[in-house]
């Protein structure tokens, strides 16, 4: 009884700030302005299919880059002393203490025309547009969500017993064999968690593309703009996005269960 009583505030919070808003979004998605049931909102939402696919593509690329960058870094951190690990993790988290918008705007200042990076490239004879394209959006995504890939990987890798790696080396395994047979299989739960924690917010986030993508918007930006004038269609787009993300989460959980059984 005591454990149930302790969970009541959390359940109340979830009901008021999560369940009720979700139900409202679903309600508006399946009704018109008069409150009558309709599927017209989803037909209107289909007009934004290109933006939707573009958002998923950017999310996949950003997640993959985050994994490539975070994996070796997380492994290196996990082999440090506990004190060094705490310091490095804190340094990784320091940028997260700043406001999300300020972090994005800092990249606007860095990548803008005649900004510091643009001037450095022009000095060595390289003339490229750094902002207002998909590349800038991906840079912003990776910067914002890289810590969400590092932390779960580090948590799992720090639990890998050094004796397992030493035993594999004593048995004649090369460094690449140790990675394939010991480190990588044991780090799969962290990979799955990291991919989930990065893909979900990158697929649904907004503001990043507005500031770094120029005329290229992501589905989160579309939902924000459409919802202001037509909350029924905006809700329908949000429902489609939630279904896709839910399907992704189910897939990753099943994949993780299979790996765990194996």
Q: Name the residue ranges covered by the structural domains of the chain.
A: 47-261
pLDDT of residue 108: 93
* Nearest C-alpha neighbor of 147 from the set 221, 183, 95, 187: 95
The CA-based angle 38-41-44, given to 5 degrees, is 140
In the numeric block, the tokens 């269609």 are attached to 233
The candidate with the shortest Cα–Cα distance to 95, out of 154, 149, 153, 147, is 147
Decide if 210 contacts 131 (C-beta within 8 A). no
Helix, strand, or coil here: 129? Answer: coil
Cβ burial of 103 (10 Å; 0-12, 13-18, 19+) is middle
Overall fold of domain 47-261: MetI-like fold (1.10.3720)
Beta bridge partners of 31: 37
CA distance 143 to 96: 10
Task: Tell me the whole-structure pTM to 2 decimals.
Answer: 0.89
Question: In sequence order, what are the beta bridge partners of 245?
Answer: none
Q: Tens-of-pLDDT digits for all 262 residues of the chain?
A: 556 777 788 888 888 888 999 999 999 999 998 999 999 999 999 999 999 999 999 999 999 999 999 999 999 999 899 999 999 999 999 888 888 888 999 999 999 988 899 999 998 988 888 999 999 999 999 999 999 999 999 999 999 888 888 888 888 888 888 888 899 999 999 999 999 999 999 999 888 999 998 877 899 999 989 988 899 999 999 999 999 999 998 888 876 655 544 4
Rounded distance between C-alpha atoms, residue 63 and residue 203, angstroms: 10
| Residue 89, both tokens | 């993790």
The whole-angstrom separation of Cα 100 and Cα 98 is: 6
DSSP annotation of 128: -
Contacts of residue 101, defined as CB under 8 A and 6 or more positions apart, other chains included, come to: 207
Q: Is the separation of the CB atoms in 44 and 240 below 8 Å?
A: no
Q: pLDDT per residue over 30-81, tens digit each?
A: 999 899 999 999 999 999 999 999 999 999 999 999 999 999 999 999 989 9
- Output the pLDDT for position 262: 45
């Amino acid at each position: 009884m005591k454990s149930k009583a302790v969970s009541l505030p959390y359940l109340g919070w979830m009901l008021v700030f999560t369940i009720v808003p979700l139900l409202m979004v679903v309600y508006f998605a399946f009704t018109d302005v008069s409150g009558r049931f309709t599927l017209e909102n989803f037909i209107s939402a289909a007009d934004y299919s290109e933006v939707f696919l573009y958002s998923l593509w950017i999310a996949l690329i950003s997640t993959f880059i985050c994994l490539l960058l975070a994996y070796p870094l997380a492994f290196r951190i996990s082999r440090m002393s506990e004190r060094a690990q705490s310091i490095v993790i804190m340094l990784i988290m320091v940028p997260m203490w700043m406001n999300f918008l300020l972090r994005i705007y800092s990249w606007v200042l860095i990548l803008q025309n005649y900004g510091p990076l643009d001037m450095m490239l022009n000095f060595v004879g390289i003339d490229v547009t750094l902002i207002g394209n998909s590349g800038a959006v991906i840079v912003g995504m990776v910067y914002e969500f890289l810590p969400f890939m590092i932390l779960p990987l580090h948590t799992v890798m720090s639990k890998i017993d050094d004796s397992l790696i030493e035993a594999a080396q004593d048995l004649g395994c090369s460094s690449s064999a140790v990675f394939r047979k010991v480190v990588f299989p044991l780090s799969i739960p962290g990979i799955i968690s990291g991919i989930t924690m990065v893909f979900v917010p990158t697929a649904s986030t907004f503001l990043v593309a507005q500031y770094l993508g120029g005329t290229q918007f992501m589905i989160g930006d579309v939902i924000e703009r459409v919802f202001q004038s037509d909350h029924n269609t905006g809700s329908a787009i949000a429902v489609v996005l939630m279904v896709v993300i839910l399907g992704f989460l189910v897939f990753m959980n099943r994949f993780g269960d299979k790996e765990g059984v194996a």
